[in-house]
Amino acid sequence: MINAAATRRLVLGLLISAVTAASYAQWANPAEDVPAYHAAAPLKLTPLPAILTGANLTGENFRFPWQVHVYQQAAKVSSVIYQLPCNCRCDRSLGHTSLRSCFEGLHGTECSTCAKEALFAYQQTRMGKNPTQIREAIARHDYEAIDLEKQ
């Protein structure tokens, strides 16, 4: 016989599992060929992995000034890039769940698609665009006009 406390824990665990599964980015758009992204801003309850900052932006992977600049700008729009897909398809190859994932490690230093999309997202956010509008622009490949060397 299961007591009431155990039943509540079981129900709460199942509820949390269901909410997590339903919001998982890989399942956000199963019918479309859209890279993974989160449809809404991250919940404040769950801390996200940190975007690399400060002393982590040095060394052999940060040989060019644009690489550091991209990470700095990505950190400023963290919740926006959480809601954006990455067209390099790192969701398939690296298991990334959004553009933000690219800047939690070193992938953003080696991929011009990720870097351009992050800078584009920063610029568009500063212009007052919301994540939905930025997603639409990324789908049109508007970010490709970004020149990383001129940043």
Output the pTM of the full model: 0.76
Measure the CA angle with vertex 93, ends 109 and 66; round to 5°. Answer: 10
What pLDDT shows up at residue 29? 47
- The parent domain of residue 136 ranges over 4-150
C-alpha dihedral sign at 62, 68, 72, 74: negative
* Domain count within the chain: 1
The pair of structure tokens assigned to 38 is 């989160």
Q: How far is the CA of 124 from the CAs of 52, 73, 140, in angstroms?
A: 22, 12, 14
- 119, amino acid identity: L
Q: How far is the CA of 103 from the CAs of 19, 83, 135, in angstroms?
A: 25, 14, 18
Measuring CA to CA, which residue among 115, 15, 122 is closest to residue 61? 115
What pLDDT shows up at residue 3? 75
What pLDDT shows up at residue 53? 94
- Mean pLDDT of residues grouped by 10 in the chain (151 residues)? 64 53 47 80 88 95 96 97 92 88 95 97 98 96 94 76
Q: How far is the CA of 147 from the CAs of 1, 64, 112, 144, in angstroms?
A: 66, 13, 10, 8
Q: How many CB atoms lie within 10 A of CB 55?
A: 7
Give 82-113 as a DSSP string.
TTS--TT-HHHHT---SGGGGGSSSHHHH-HH
